[in-house]
C-alpha cells in the first residue's frame, strides 16, 4: 500500500512518539523509511551574530538525530532507511520532500487547540492542510506508542 514513508523529526517528544507508527507501517508494507530533519532557517537564534556556527551546530544535531532514528528503525526491523537533513522553513521542506519522494507522511503532534494553536502555528497542521500524500498524525502519549 505504501512504498515510501516520510518521518519528519525535530527530535521532540512528539516526533519520537510518531516513530513507532512509522516503523510499523514501513515494516508491514516493506517500504523505505525516509527520516527528515529540517534546520529551521527562520529560527531567531540562528539568524543573529555567529549564525554560521549555529547553523552548523543545528545541522550536526540534525545529522545525529536522523542517524539515531535510523538505528532504532533498524532494531525495529526496518530494512531500508534514507536519512536527510535540509535547511529551510520546516513545513515547506517537508511538503517538498514528501511530494518528491513519499506516499505517506507520519508526524507527531501535541494536540493543541484553540488560541494556543493559532498563536504558535503548527508545522504538522500546515503539512496536513497542504500535503498531496496522505498524512498520519500521532498525538504525544497516544495509546499506540
pLDDT on residue 118 = 46
pLDDT on residue 119 = 41
pLDDT tens digits for the chain (145 residues)?
A: 999 999 999 988 888 889 999 999 999 999 999 999 999 988 765 555 555 788 889 999 999 999 999 999 999 999 999 999 999 999 999 999 999 999 999 998 875 555 444 444 589 999 999 999 999 999 877 554 4
CA dist 93 and 65 (Å) reads: 17
pLDDT on residue 113 = 53
pLDDT on residue 21 = 96
pLDDT on residue 110 = 72
Q: Given the C-alpha cell 507508527, which residue does it identify?
A: 21
* All structural domains of the chain: 4-138 (3.40.50.620)
Q: How many CB atoms lie within 10 A of CB 44?
A: 7
For residue 28, which phi and psi values (nearest 5 degrees)?
Answer: -60, -35
CA dist 6 and 86 (Å) reads: 14
End-to-end, the C-alpha distance of the chain in Å comes to 22
Contact of 21 with 144, CB cutoff 8 Å: yes
Pinpoint the alpha helices (H) of the chain: 13-28, 51-75, 90-101, 114-120, 123-130
Contact of 145 with 21, CB cutoff 8 Å: yes
Question: What is the DSSP code (8-state) at residue 31?
Answer: P
Name the 3-class secondary structure at 44: helix
Amino acid at each position: 500500500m505504501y512504498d515510501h514513508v516520510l518521518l519528519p523529526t525535530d527530535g521532540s517528544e512528539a516526533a519520537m512518539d510518531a516513530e513507532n507508527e512509522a516503523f510499523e507501517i514501513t515494516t508491514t508494507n516493506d517500504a523505505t523509511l525516509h527520516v527528515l530533519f529540517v534546520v529551521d532557517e527562520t529560527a531567531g537564534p540562528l539568524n543573529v551574530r555567529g549564525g554560521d556556527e549555529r547553523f552548523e551546530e543545528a545541522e550536526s544535531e540534525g545529522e545525529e538525530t536522523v542517524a539515531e532514528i535510523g538505528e532504532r528503525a533498524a532494531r525495529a526491523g526496518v530494512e531500508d532507511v534514507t536519512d536527510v537533513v535540509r535547511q529551510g522553513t520546516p513545513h515547506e521542506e517537508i511538503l517538498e520532500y514528501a511530494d518528491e519522494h513519499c506516499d505517506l507522511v507520519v508526524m507527531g503532534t501535541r494536540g493543541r487547540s484553540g488560541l494556543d494553536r493559532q498563536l504558535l502555528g503548527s508545522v504538522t497542521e500546515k503539512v496536513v492542510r497542504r500535503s498531496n500524500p496522505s498524512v498520519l498524525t500521532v498525538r504525544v502519549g497516544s495509546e499506540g506508542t
